[in-house]
Structure 1
């Protein structure tokens, strides 16, 4: 144990501090005796503690233990981690009592299994790491942070050395500078039969009908036979039987570009004896130029005949699907030039598909058109959805027309099965419904588990914010009991006096108890109250919920995709307001046709109805109704264009339109306007995967290169990343993005040189292949580990010698103990004590004597011998006191003489140092005990001695006077000096 100072120069302050303390002690006349010494001692210690604190006083302990951190490579190429765990446990058994160990696991990044500690004879490797990558640099860096102080620090790395993220060599140089050695234990690779698809290459651009060749590169650890299959998007287009030999194998596969658009091709192998399937596929993108292609999504089967016939006449390729078949991969939407929703209800379109369509329009220039009908726009539940965000119209009708007042109660299941994302979607659905309502509407929300709980008692909406906050606070718990909640909601609804009254029941379970629901539904019908039901998932009581909706004159919904819940709730709220549908004949008015003017120059046919919407502020309204509501509106949304046609095209409301001779040409022009507007991309995009990162490189003609360029990356599941590209040279840009897992990605370039970003090129795609972790090993890992050990001064360990980890001499090290906080805390406490000594009026002399008493105690024998002397001194003091007070009962002292006038003291007399007697008061005053003892041989007053003042005696001031008189005389003498 020792001490040291970080800033010893500050100790020179002790010299001036000693001088100042000495002078302060000599010049301080306010305190005296023990009190002065105590205050001075406290002040001295405080200053000493502060000087020690600022000089960086530290204690240190010299230790000669070993600090070892194990870094275990837990990537998939290592196989079972049990053998690593066993070896670490065996080596720990040989450590010294004071040796300390820690354990780190590493995959893509490091994770601490055990902090540095002297405890442990073994450890489990169960920390969560991304095993699809080998990031040894991250594991070594984390291990270096676990060491304490400077001394015998060493890392033991257990790995095959096949890193694919970071650089352990660069980390080794940093560890060498810090004096940390790295011992390595090379782990032999697994000897398995494996065939991998290393690469698939296609031309970047093709023309429709062009034959092309795909090049497939395979790598194998053994001779094998199997099958190679080729897919275009998700459709298999060919397969062939192949033979592979050990090493690299190249194959050329012929293909034909049949349909235009951006396509993803995938090569996949199925080989006999292959033990690893993670590396059996590779993919690539290509763009096929040709006639435009449009996807029609129809809400009612066969209702898109008029649209399809019109587009066919314009040589536009058309594909018709129901909404349930919308793709779940973002890359597939890029294959279409435009997408048309023909009277599609939002309850049939998942939230994920809506987001992908919106992204495809905004980022990749895909066109979008919505065609009206009874299940479209607001009637389809698109309020506050990504689709509404992309359209030039909104679904709200604020300030438009008188809508019947509505009373709505939401009956929501909040049982334990509704926890997590499902509960959040239900709350979002309820909140969207409330936002659609008006201030005069009445709303209530009751959540139920085993019993109902009113989240919002039925009330006129008024302040929506308070209701929305209450809904946001719903938490899931308990079981499911539907009947009490519906009965309670109906009872409350009977007190509501709106023009329309409606209940929405939503649950994902079955009621715990059977009840008589027919009484409730009969009462609803009698009171003109309707109820719709929503069954979520296969576990819900679909029969009960459907029967309740039918009996209560409502609608029944079965939901497998919970993301459609917001659209269902919104649709229910809108359906109750029948004024959203305007079903009276009219002729649309041409308002702002722009370049579409020639289409309507000779007039337009009439319509029988439409769905009312509200145009957005920057939208262009081409045709409008007398209300006025937009019938045909368009706008630019991001990189794409969108069109809203609020009437139908099936003939129900638009009979005159679909029979109009110019209908086919007009509709074709509307759809063509939505097509992507940019030509072939002048940019060449190349990618390189480096572990979990992808390095982008974009090149173009330097003469037309923008100053700022950014890339929007969209993954297969719709997640987006924006990458700011750095211009390294004219026409050459680079950037990096993090990829959590392999897959196909769409890339859109944006020119950010101006105030508003501009689409720079047509959208393209790239593929991040499977992790290099699954590539067939090159066998250079052991050599890399040996170089790391040599660089840091470590050793190459052996599997059969786990005890070698601790088989070495330990280097002594110092462990510092920071004393700054204890010193400052002690100074603060003593400072409080110093204030108390200087400010509090306590019997400090008595306290000092009491504290010093143990120091003055004598041995028992000496105390016995001096007992008689002490009694004698006590008797003498008693006699002097009796003489001073004029006698004692035992000493035969006579009482004092005739009473004297009592002394009177005022400011004047004190100033002269004397005192005056007051008539009628004895001369002996209450302060008499403070008088000095009479000199030897003197007689008490009245017995031949000095007489009191006023009786011929000497004045009290001349006799010594009272204690106050003596104090004033001493003060005067001090001043004269």
Structure 2
């Protein structure tokens, strides 16, 4: 046993503490005698204890023992644990008397069998209930390490095969190394058994009803045998096959047919001759079987989609045909289709909102898209710089491809007050998009009108497009509507333009105040080969006037209820001026990058009579090209979806040989099926991570308004169901834990629980929990992992033949500390309270001191006699101090009085009266002269607490006032008895009188 200080430099505080105590001893006059010494001693002890506590005074004991924790792996792969128990018992028999041992078991998690104990009869039984289907060595090492303090010779003995499948024993080993705990390992021998396991089952992620498919199974075996492989769909057997397996991997495939739509679980089981382990004889997977795929066909002209519907329906693909005006305005409705086909649809009939939704459906939800050509499609349909063009594998620009006639275009735009807001913004967007579509050699002008025309952009060539676009952006809305002056001004300027083709586009949403004189304008246009198209926006526009003007000027009339179609209309008008977008001459398309579609054209490619020119995008795959060369058939991946461009038509005008081709139906069906989604379209992405008997669900969504609460509903093969509330870790990200007690394929659906009730949030999906890795055929790498763990922590690789090796070698000494901070603080507080009591409480401290002194001398005195002597000694001391002060002479030490006199004095003092005068003394008030009092001796002042409040007059002065002090007592024999050293020469007055007066003063205090 020893002591030491954690902060010895704080012992320097004893220096100022000693100075403080010395000063307190010298300056404190309020206490005296034993009381003063006791208070000073208590305060000294308090200060010493506090300084020792701050300095970290603690005791320590040097121990020389070993602490060993046996960690037994009791997972199923270890087999019977009796051999482990015997080895631990034999090892404990070799431990030292002071060595302590503990036993911990581990499976999925660790369990303490016995805590550290030095008892030799503690035993090594392994009885804890554990989950043996998993091996969690990390959990066991952490638990074993928590039983050790890491001081001295502390170590863990791990008995395992090293085949961990939950956690990481290496990570736990690093933490143990930092704490100075070594890990000895005892590798368990690998169990040699005849085992056949189904390690993997694969089914296509998505199937369509009546589609055939293959179920693939991977079987691993340790020996050669034969048996039966069975395939189950939702616990219904759908296939059985006799198979033979060899040591190693064996792969088999069994054909199946998707009959019923919905989510389906699949299970593969094996029944092999000689197989000694049945826990790994099944594997699981799931798939979604959809009903017949549905394709939405949007046709530009009624009755022109018969060829498409007939071809798709012959391939078991359902179709729905609608005009472009009926396209949904809800994104969820597009998810009901596998693909969308635009059959010669003009962009002027497709709203901007619908274009954005279709582009999003392809990019985010994987819906397919195909555009078929015609005179109102692609560039001729006004799709330049629209969301639809973004999704297509071709662009509408033809710059540098062929000679296009020079164009002269003037835009006449209504900027009246009724055009304020979104209308004027869309009108400006339409004009800017048209300017971007034109070439530098083309001429463009923009005139805005209200009550009068205002030339925003005077007619000029497009040498500086940015400046012209900036001018268009500055058009405000204000004033009334007067169409004629604006059209007349535009015509006057158009007559000055020398372009090959000249065109005017008039757009308004109101009624003109002046409706005469238009006939002369349209006649002039026809005469000079100038055309004009008109756009009526809304029901308030003068539809009759605008339609008459367009027909008279050989142009086109557009009635627009959805202002978002304005950009497409302006783009279409600009493209139609060129006329070179349509190539109407016969040719035979050539194969360029056919890829997997090459088999569709093995017997040749039919000819075509025309198409709409376009430019393939850089990452697109061009399958068929024209002699120009322009793309005829192109495809690409756009986001999560796929899209196809067919630049010729499908109604027979240009594709007469194609629609009469005997392979047309199969070819078109394969092209459309290629665009089908490659996954289940859902705004939610679900991933699963299996750890032991728990599955962690992770759900993410990119939606704009993710639900506040989301629940996952999990169903198993036995119709059991559990609901798990997912925790929202961040906007659009949810997690949850699912407890799984057995392997299988589980169906999962999501519910939005934000409102009063729950509603489906996404289509159902599933996840697979395979059988535990504990039952996989061992790879034989477990022993290597145990060896690395021992090397990492500084441990040893032990042998089954030498159990005593665990305690071999000399134990490392270790120090066990004993913290004394709390006892020191408690003692200081108690002594501080005692110090306060000594200084503040009025107790007979002198008597207490005398008793303590007697006890220390082991000679206790009677209480009565001690009290009498103490009182007499106190009176004698006060008498001596009073005599010194008043008599001026050196007072002689008081003599011890006879017992009777002591008792008399004690009784007089107790009675509170004055003592009776001695015989022969003069009565009080007599005039007998007393000897003149001697002046007090210099330097003989009494102590402060005994000093009289007022100075007494001298003996002579008292006689002059007529009060004589009492006479001194008579000595035996009639003479006057005086105390030794007193008398007339010692001072006037009676010494006893002065002594009694001093006593009274002390009593009053």
Q: Give TM-score, length-normalised by structure 2.
A: 0.48
The higher radius of gyration belongs to 2
- TM, length-normalised to structure 1: 0.49
